[in-house]
Amino acid sequence: MIARISHRIKKAIETDDFPKLAEALYENTKLWTALALDVIDDKNLLPDELRARIVYLADFTRIHTQKVLRKEDSAVALLEINATILRGLKHEGEPA
């Protein structure tokens, strides 16, 4: 899902399609909100430090998305965050 949303953000940037960018950013914000809600649950077994970082990234994503929608900043930072998460997930799934 992160890869699909990132692809939509990137394509909207490349084609200068602001309505499509807004849609993709909405989906990205929903994703990060869901991740944050999952990690703040007391039943979540991730380490506290990792949980805190995910909540921070969700908050950053929400704030930065607002800047992008107001055309005060670009969505590149959001793409970089998603790419970093995808690399981490890929690395985690690799055999030791």
CA end-to-end distance (rounded Å), the chain: 25
Per-residue model confidence as pLDDT tens digits over 13-68: 999 999 999 999 999 999 999 999 999 999 999 999 999 999 999 999 999 999 99
Domain that holds residue 17: 2-93
Task: Count CB atoms within 10 A of the CB of residue 72.
Answer: 9
Measure Cα distances from 11 to 6, 22, 44 in Å. Answer: 9, 12, 34
User: pTM higher than 0.85, yes or no?
Assistant: yes
**Domain tally, the chain:** 1
